[in-house]
Homo-oligomer: A and B are copies of this chain.
């Protein structure tokens, strides 16, 4: 038996809100402690699993469905799976939860102005200039979680603080640091 129980931590939020940054820090800390962790990142996955898909609602939904299928495979094998996807539609995130089962919704919340001001990838500028269609927050909707399991205010807390919240939540819910007697059971 492994000293961990499978779960998917689903980071949702605007582009530039810090989903990947926080997920990376959580990954780093958990791997340091010897846990099996797999990150699934929108930007990377779109080069492999879903490179045929664009950013229409239909394509976004299919993107989430495929990734949920993969996250489920990892989760059911007791991997801590960290998913960073904008996943702007409430219903698609609900579908992800239903497919995956063990699921923690983390709202990575920074105001649009902050994300746009950061504009790490230069995408907001392009979206404002009309060079990118269907850009979440600019020309496409973002439906914030109404009742997320966790909310991270990345405009007000450090990456380390956000990551700690996630790790503490995983401990609290018994996904990591399982006591010996549970493992033997």
Contact = CB atoms under 8 A, between A and B. Distances in A.
A30 interface: no
Interface in A1-54: 1-2, 34, 36, 38, 40, 48-49, 52
A78 interface: yes
A73 B77 CA distance: 12
A6 B73 CA distance: 15
B48 A69 contact: yes
Interface size range of chain A in the complex: 20 to 34
B36 A49 contact: no
B38 A77 contact: yes
A8 to B, nearest CB: 13
B48 A65 contact: yes
Given A36-B77, A49-B66, A70-B70, 13 more contacts: A2-B2, A36-B78, A38-B73, A38-B76, A38-B77, A40-B73, A49-B49, A49-B69, A52-B52, A73-B74, A74-B74, A74-B77, A77-B79
21 contacts: A1-B34, A2-B2, A36-B77, A36-B78, A38-B73, A38-B76, A38-B77, A40-B73, A48-B65, A48-B66, A48-B69, A49-B66, A49-B69, A49-B70, A52-B62, A70-B73, A73-B74, A74-B74, A74-B77, A77-B77, A79-B79
